[in-house]
Amino acid sequence: MNFQLSPALLELQARTRRFIAEQVIPYERDPRQTDHGPTDALRAELIARARDAGLLTVHASKALGGLHLSHIEKAVVFEEAGYSPLGPVAMNIHAPDEGNIHLMEAVATDAQKVRWLAPLVAGRTRSCFAMTEPAPGAGSDPSMLQTTAIRDGDHYRITGSKWLITGAEGAAFAIIMARLEDGRATMFLADMAQPAIVIERQMDSLDRCFAGGHCVVHFNDLRVPASDVLGEVGEGFRYAQVRLAPARLTHCMRWLGAARRAHDVALDYARRRQAFGKRLGDHEGVGFMLADNDMDLHLARMAIGYCAEVLDRADAGEEGGAARANFESSRTKVICSEKTWAVVDRSVQVLGGSGVTGETVVERIFRDIRPFRIYDGPSEVHRWSLAKKLLKA
């Protein structure tokens, strides 16, 4: 593996780091942050700053105004963006929009791209991905999908309930996963501003970084034109993998940046704080935690780099690349979610009382990063899936 970064990528990394430090971090105590994410007004202000800096939606294709970053390049830039809880929002690379942009660039029609994708890439709209359902519906097991789509002439009628739908409140449109009468899963595009789409409530959650929060959504006999099927009929589960494999990895990239921030805050405190006659960091118990943080950050970055390389080879058409990419993204998601959580947890411990209060950003990162071990598949489900593939191989 070659970890040497090109001069152009080093420049982009430095530019992103400056943007986060100078333009985004000063907003971290802005009162327009709610328990359900930043308000639309705050998001719009941050988006404008990223647009002016030439750092808006950098992962999108050049035809749509992005930089068409490879997975390796995204790993570098997204880590820098994740250094602030508001960084991914500002740069329009947050979930679920980042994953939806990737999926739609791959499978949407030209008309769908003009209607829904272009405004999303430009930062004028937000989207949501409606797949997860309350019990007994689909969660970690997508085959339990309960939402139905029944063909009715030139339309489909969609009925069902979804929950933990990130960004649904305020989203312009949704990608909806539903099963046909023959059981095949299919994706549909639909504008959210319709009477048949009801947002029942925003769910209270540990994290507060996602614009629009997480919602319970009902589709009550929603009529969707057949022309608004995303991709091919019956290929919903396959497209879910097209979206989820890279989306798992970009989560890892962003949370690595957040964990690095927590470690930096804890390290600075350990250098300055005096206790029992010497610096806090000179006490072995604290020093060992800082050393473990450094090693875990390094391991997470190595895992991300390797997985990104695998995904880049898959995109280039390597034989068996898609299956390998899915395996590696699953493995990397477990490694990174658990390593970054450990880093942030230790950072809280090093900071003591200030770590569990709003005196530093670490308390916020702690809340935001804990659900990552559940989102996009709990660690236990990924381990189970990995074990099955290992035994089969």
Local confidence band at 74 (pLDDT 50, 70, 90 cut-offs): very high
Give the domain 127-230 fold.
Butyryl-CoA Dehydrogenase, subunit A; domain 2 (2.40.110)
Long-range contacts of 27-30 (CB under 8 A, 24+ apart): 27/86, 28/84, 28/85, 28/86, 28/361
Indicate the class that CATH gives domain 7-94.
mainly alpha
Q: H/E/C letters for each residue in 71-103?
A: HHHHHHHHHHHCCCCCHHHHCCCCCCHHHHHHH
**Pick from 256, 297, 252, 250: nearest CA to 91:** 250
SS3 string, 250-271, reads: HHHHHHHHHHHHHHHHHHHHHH
Q: What CA–CA distance (Å, rounded) separates 111 from 291?
A: 52
The closest alpha carbon to 142, from 188, 185, 175, belongs to 185
pLDDT the model gives residue 244: 87
pLDDT, position 1 = 66
With a pLDDT cut of 90, the percent of the chain lying above it is 97
Report the distance separating Cα 161 and Cα 202, nearest Å: 14
Domain chopping of the chain, boundaries: 7-94, 127-230, 236-392
Beta-carbon contacts of 146 under 8 Å, excluding residues fewer than 6 positions away, are 133, 136, 137, 138, 160, 161, 179
The predicted-structure confidence for 214-238, as pLDDT tens digits, reads as follows 999 999 999 999 999 999 999 999 9
pLDDT value of residue 4: 86
Q: How does residue 23 score in pLDDT terms, banded at 50, 70 and 90?
A: very high
**CA dihedral sign, ordered 23, 25, 31, 35:** positive
* 337-373 pLDDT tens trace: 999 999 999 999 999 999 999 999 999 999 999 999 9
Average pLDDT over every residue of 58-80: 96
Question: Which residues is 275 bridged to in the sheet?
Answer: 278
Q: Looking at residue 299, what is its pLDDT?
A: 97
Distance CA 143, CA 124 (A): 34
Asked if pLDDT for residue 13 goes beyond 70, the answer is: yes
pLDDT at 218: 98
The number of C-alpha atoms within 13 Å of 381 and in the hemisphere containing its C-beta is: 11
Total residues belonging to the chain: 393
Per CATH, the architecture of 236-392 is what? Up-down Bundle (1.20)
Hey, do 7-94 and 236-392 end up sharing a CATH topology, with the first three levels equal?
no
Distance CA 239, CA 104 (A): 10
